[in-house]
Structure 1
């Protein structure tokens, strides 16, 4: 298996079918529009390939906040359903860990929906712990993917 860092819209669009495992109603046009907004704001993806087929990926952002200093935020951690329990999630996580160290980050942050218990277990096993609540106030429910 090989990990590749995706930094361009064409590279990311090639992996659209993987994104659809998490967002089945996402259109490629909407995905591309989001990427055009996100990439200039430090968005990248780490993707795992097996025989040149994407079997998992995560988006990530690099930034600085007052409470953390430099940090990486994981965004949309996806492993192809046919390839789960093969260590792909750990490969992605290790890549992000190394990227955070390379960028001299103090931490890695992520959101996991409250009812997504398998994700909670996965993240706990990787050393993540809840630090607080991520509150949202919905302005336009139709805008969600």
Structure 2
């Protein structure tokens, strides 16, 4: 890996399925590939963009971006499903990603960058604290059983 070979760019919605192999590595849930693709297709029609992190042309990471306006923050972006391939961790790529997202969000007139991190993911917490994020609350979920 050469530092100058690493690049970050928006993934064209027509290429959104390129992130599926990375999403399947998350391990926090199991969702069939067909369902992931269906959901990604729907997401691209909403206020969603997806970044790819590349080593030359090899996709090594991804980060979803949800743009919204919140009453407490105004325009903001929420980073979602941040994934960097294990082999590339510890090389400053996460910092490059946060810097890229922060600059990109500022250009889109966002006031805040937000994200969620699983409560058991302590390395993630430390990393994001070191990038200037603060914990503002808990993210609660309630699964609805569909009949």
TM-score (structure 1 length as normaliser): 0.89
Task: Output one character per residue of 1:12-63: Cα deviation in whole Å (capped at 9) or x when no partner.
Answer: 2123212222147333311111112211111111111102111111001111
Q: Which residue of 1 aligns with 2:17?
A: 13
Q: Which residue of 2 aligns with 1:104?
A: 109
Task: Supply the distance in 1 between the matched residues of 2:22 and 2:92 (Cα, whole angstroms).
Answer: 17
Q: Please say if residues 20 and 37 of structure 2, whose CA atoms lie closer than 8 Å, have aligned partners that are also in contact.
A: no
Q: Which structure 2 segments of 5+ residues have no match?
A: 1-5
Q: Which structure 1 segments of 5+ residues have no match?
A: none
Q: Please say if residues 26 and 83 of structure 2, whose CA atoms lie closer than 8 Å, have aligned partners that are also in contact.
A: yes
TM-score (structure 2 length as normaliser): 0.88
Task: Give runs of ≥4 in structure 1 deviating > 6 Å.
Answer: none
Q: Which residue of 2 aligns with 1:65?
A: 70
SS of equivalent residue, structure 1 residue 41: coil
- Measured after TM superposition, the shift of residue 89 of structure 1 is 1.1
Q: Please say if residues 57 and 92 of structure 1, whose CA atoms lie closer than 8 Å, have aligned partners that are also in contact.
A: no
